[in-house]
A and B are shown apart, each in its own frame.
Chain A
Amino acid sequence: MASLRFQPFNPARWLLWGATAVLFLVAPLVFRESFALTMLTQMGAFIIFALSYNMLLGQGGMLSFGHAVYSGLGAYFSVHVLNMIGKGTIVFPVMLLPLVGGLAGLAFGIIFGYVTTKKAGTTFAMISLGIGELVHACVLMFPGFFGGEGGVSTNRVVGQPFLGITFGPAIQVYYLVAFWCFVCMIAMFALTQTPLGRMANAVRDNPERAEFVGYDTQKVRFLQLVLAGFFAGVSGALSCINFEIVTDENVSAIRSGGVLLATFIGGTGFFFGPILGSVVFIFFVVALSGFTQAWLLYLGLFFLAMVLYAPGGIASLIMMQLPVIRARRLRALALPYLLALAAGLVAFAGLVGVVEMVYRISDASLDTQMSLFGIGFDAKSARPWIAFSLVLAAGLAALGFAARHVGERWGAIQNQIQGKQP
């Protein structure tokens, strides 16, 4: 997206980063409940993880199914260092523990990256999956270091307090995560501007040409993966401090899949995409899982809808509006957007009804008498089934109609904008 240009001072960029820093500072003051604070802390750690994943998928064109290996192993190494600090074997500030995780991630990036980056594309995807499974199986094989099924637990309140910071209260952990998240965000953004970051893009887009220019594509992929491993390790260490336990789930395929989902939903084409994706993903995981057992189904459906209809993710949907806003034509689109949103909500309500009823009927331990959207009904009777199916069908039909309408308007406005500025 960004073309090469000489711009020693970019006020918009400074404004954005400044706003991000302020957001990190005031977020826990706005959302005061402890539930919100847990969620914000998890989001911070996951943002680093997703951004590091996007160094592979978005910037390097490497679809990895085993990225949790680096964050998970980083977490395991930091949990042992934290325990050693607790026993007094070594003296090390807890604040710098993410560096330990990062270095572990980096080291394993060097080891596994040598094998995985031999190939690109689909083969890379399969090999990364294999490495992920290999590590996960090994973690269960060596209970001495990895703690087997139960994992390794720890206590983060160890060592000498620094300026009164013990990391006992959750708010202190939040600010630790926020600090590291901000630093890592800047570092990863800076990396995209380096020659390596640029070459990673070139290798993603046209490996043959990159080779003709004189770069070793495997080396570029390797370096990119090693650096991504470092940041993944940092996020692993932060989640280890936050949860005070590291289990085999940290290196599992579920976690690797999760970061892929989050990054893709957010959008791989823009630097800030994975940040949005992490916020949405953690919201799904933490908030929605409290409401319904079918949250993974909703997440999967959301992901599939994004793959089918918005492969650029949320970030690209936002960036697409910028030229329209600049041309002051957003108002013409407001009504169609609202229509589409309303239709989508109706369809979603129908879907939720059907899914929740299926769930009630299949789980014998649950009562089929249920209530949804404030309406009480019996999932075994035919009437709610007919009603929700009708709502779903009507919503989908309306959504199709609204989407066509948006498309027509969109095309007309694009033509106008391009007509004005040839």
Chain B
Amino acid sequence: MEFFLVQLLNGISYGLLLFMLSSGLTLVFSLMGVLNFAHASFYMLGAYFAYQISTAIGFYPALVVAPLLVGAIGMLVERFGLRTVHRYGHVAELLFTFGLAYLIEEAVHLVWGRAAVEYRIPPSLEGPLFMVFTSQYPIYRGFMMLVSMSMLVSIWLVLTRTRIGLVIQAALTHPQTVEALGHNVPRVFMLVFGGGAALAGLAGVIGGNAFVTEPGMAAAVGPIIFVVVVVGGMGSLAGAFVASLLIGCLQTFSVGLDWKFAGLFARFGWSVTPDTPFATLWNITLAQAAPVLPYLLMVLILIFRPRGLLGTRDG
């Protein structure tokens, strides 16, 4: 029970972090049709900027400044890069963001070196928040959840209750009509791209010190958020939310479990010996298989429900 509760809380906080990343990706994708390959790189930039700012003036200013900086970079990328390649089609846009991801990783290598930097949780957020039976639940995990939840609520409010949010929603489905009504759709694109980047940056600020801030962090989380978007259904925010929590829990739970097929077989009276065919496969524990599980889930979803959990588009 204790294990279950702790892992569930960890899973939800990781899932919310994933959703902060995948929501920006989904919004940009459904609005512009651009799959932003560099999205995880913005996450990494957020973490590095926060590290730099927090060593200079502290963590709380970094919490605000770093996402804004990343958002500004995102807007510049949209204005001077993506808009230029837009006329060559979606593949060119995808390739552009792919090249950008390369470039950002190399720039990070160049500026901050190849090793992980010491981006720490601020002392005021260290320590236990409450006890789950016998184990402590850290304050920082709670803080992460608080930040991501308040961020999500404010996005939802912006998208549904404000004028610009309504324009964005309209531009999702009928960009021409919105343009005909006199709204500047390219500027909406720029804002959304910058906003998505800023969200990724914020995720980097609170994720960078909870996990580790190193040049490989973009490549580690990038494929996972793509899996989230595919599993949830391309272009569906609600789907991305469900899939983020699902994959967050899947990853945290599987890391702590040493179930294996051999154990399952033993219940039915079959024992696995080294001579059994595929013996290594049956002896892999769930914890060992953890890195593979999201991708397996994606393959299964694609076979049995190609449009994703809550997706509406086919294809």
* Binary CB contact string for chain A from 119 to 149 against chain B (1 if under 8 A, 0 otherwise): 1111101110111011001101110100000
* Binary CB contact string for chain B from 204 to 229 against chain A (1 if under 8 A, 0 otherwise): 00000000000000010001001101
Contact in complex: B295, A122 (CB < 8 Å) = no
* B81 lies within 8 A of chain A by Cβ: yes
Q: What are 16 A-B contacts defined by CB distance under 8 Å?
A: A63-B94, A121-B315, A122-B35, A122-B234, A123-B230, A127-B302, A130-B298, A133-B223, A257-B98, A296-B109, A297-B103, A301-B103, A303-B102, A308-B81, A311-B92, A362-B110
Q: How large is the interface on A (under 10, 10 to 19, 20 to 34, 35 or more residues)?
A: 35 or more
Contact in complex: B107, A127 (CB < 8 Å) = no
Q: How far is the CB of B78 from chain A (nearest CB, A)?
A: 14
Query: Which of A127, A294, A311 is the one whose CB lies under 8 Å from B110?
Result: A294
Q: Kindly list chain A residues whose C-beta atoms are within 8 Å of the C-beta of B281.
A: 142
* Binary CB contact string for chain A from 356 to 388 against chain B (1 if under 8 A, 0 otherwise): 001100110000000000000000000000000
Contact in complex: A142, B219 (CB < 8 Å) = no
* Binary CB contact string for chain A from 272 to 315 against chain B (1 if under 8 A, 0 otherwise): 00000000000000000000001011011101100110010000
Give bound CA distance, A133 to B84, whole Å: 31
Contact in complex: A134, B90 (CB < 8 Å) = no
* B288 lies within 8 A of chain A by Cβ: yes
Residues from 132 to 171 in A contacting B, C-beta threshold 8 Å:
133-134, 137-138, 140-142, 144
Contact in complex: B99, A137 (CB < 8 Å) = no
Q: Kindly list chain A residues whose C-beta atoms are within 8 Å of the C-beta of B33.
A: 122
**Residues of chain A having any CB pair with chain B under 8 Å:** 61, 63, 65, 115, 118-123, 125-127, 129-131, 133-134, 137-138, 140-142, 144, 253, 257, 260-261, 264, 294, 296-297, 299-301, 303-304, 307-308, 311, 355, 358-359, 362-363
**In the complex, residue of chain B having the shortest beta-carbon distance to the beta carbon of A294:** B110
Given A123-B234, A144-B280, check contact A311 B88 (CB 8 Å): yes
Give bound CA distance, A383 to B85, whole Å: 37
Contact in complex: A130, B291 (CB < 8 Å) = no
* B113 lies within 8 A of chain A by Cβ: yes
**In the complex, residue of chain A having the shortest beta-carbon distance to the beta carbon of B291:** A137
Q: Kindly list chain A residues whose C-beta atoms are within 8 Å of the C-beta of B35.
A: 122, 125-126
Q: How far is the CB of B173 from chain A (nearest CB, A)?
A: 18
Q: Kindly list chain A residues whose C-beta atoms are within 8 Å of the C-beta of B95.
A: 63, 260, 264, 307
Contact in complex: B103, A300 (CB < 8 Å) = yes
* Binary CB contact string for chain B from 127 to 145 against chain A (1 if under 8 A, 0 otherwise): 0000000000000000000
Give bound CA distance, A189 to B210, whole Å: 52
Contact in complex: A300, B106 (CB < 8 Å) = yes
Given A115-B302, A119-B306, A296-B106, check contact A129 B223 (CB 8 Å): yes
Query: Which of B90, B110, B291 is the one whose CB lies under 8 Å from A121?
Result: B90
Q: How far is the CB of A20 from chain B (nearest CB, A)?
A: 28
* Binary CB contact string for chain B from 56 to 100 against chain A (1 if under 8 A, 0 otherwise): 000000000000000000000000010011001011101110111
**In the complex, residue of chain B having the shortest beta-carbon distance to the beta carbon of A306:** B99
Contact in complex: A297, B91 (CB < 8 Å) = no
Q: How far is the CB of B276 from chain A (nearest CB, A)?
A: 14
Query: Which of B29, B105, B107, B299 is the one whose CB lies under 8 Å from A115?
Result: B299
* B1 lies within 8 A of chain A by Cβ: no
Further contacts, 10 of them, CB under 8 A, given A125-B94, A355-B110? A134-B299, A137-B291, A141-B288, A142-B284, A297-B110, A307-B85, A308-B81, A308-B84, A308-B96, A311-B92
Contact in complex: B100, A304 (CB < 8 Å) = yes
Give bound CA distance, A301 to B107, whole Å: 11
Contact in complex: A137, B292 (CB < 8 Å) = yes
Give bound CA distance, A141 to B293, whole Å: 12
Query: Which of B96, B109, B219, B292 is the one whose CB lies under 8 Å from A253?
Result: B219
Give bound CA distance, A261 to B238, whole Å: 34
Given A130-B227, A130-B299, A137-B295, check contact A307 B96 (CB 8 Å): yes
Query: Which of A131, A137, A144, A311 is the one whose CB lies under 8 Å from B85?
Result: A311
**In the complex, residue of chain A having the shortest beta-carbon distance to the beta carbon of B308:** A123
**In the complex, residue of chain A having the shortest beta-carbon distance to the beta carbon of B280:** A144
Give bound CA distance, A294 to B33, whole Å: 32
Give bound CA distance, A144 to B283, whole Å: 12
* B289 lies within 8 A of chain A by Cβ: yes
Q: Kindly list chain A residues whose C-beta atoms are within 8 Å of the C-beta of B302.
A: 115, 118-119, 127
Give bound CA distance, A308 to B94, whole Å: 12
* B257 lies within 8 A of chain A by Cβ: no
* 6 closest A-B pairs by CB: A134-B295, A297-B106, A300-B102, A300-B103, A304-B99, A137-B291
Given A126-B230, A127-B230, A294-B106, check contact A300 B99 (CB 8 Å): yes
* B181 lies within 8 A of chain A by Cβ: no
Contact in complex: A362, B291 (CB < 8 Å) = no
* B266 lies within 8 A of chain A by Cβ: no
Contact in complex: B292, A141 (CB < 8 Å) = yes
Give bound CA distance, A297 to B103, whole Å: 6
Give bound CA distance, A126 to B295, whole Å: 11
Give bound CA distance, A261 to B96, whole Å: 11
Q: Kindly list chain B residues whose C-beta atoms are within 8 Å of the C-beta of A363.
A: 113
Give bound CA distance, A378 to B299, whole Å: 54
* B112 lies within 8 A of chain A by Cβ: yes
Q: How far is the CB of A58 from chain B (nearest CB, A)?
A: 11
Q: Kindly list chain B residues whose C-beta atoms are within 8 Å of the C-beta of A303.
A: 99, 102
Q: How far is the CB of B268 from chain A (nearest CB, A)?
A: 24
Contact in complex: B99, A130 (CB < 8 Å) = no
Contact in complex: A123, B315 (CB < 8 Å) = yes
Q: How far is the CB of A297 from chain B (nearest CB, A)?
A: 4
* B296 lies within 8 A of chain A by Cβ: yes
Q: How far is the CB of A139 from chain B (nearest CB, A)?
A: 10
* B111 lies within 8 A of chain A by Cβ: yes
Q: Kindly list chain B residues whose C-beta atoms are within 8 Å of the C-beta of A130.
A: 223, 226-227, 230, 295, 298-299
Give bound CA distance, A308 to B100, whole Å: 11
Give bound CA distance, A131 to B299, whole Å: 8
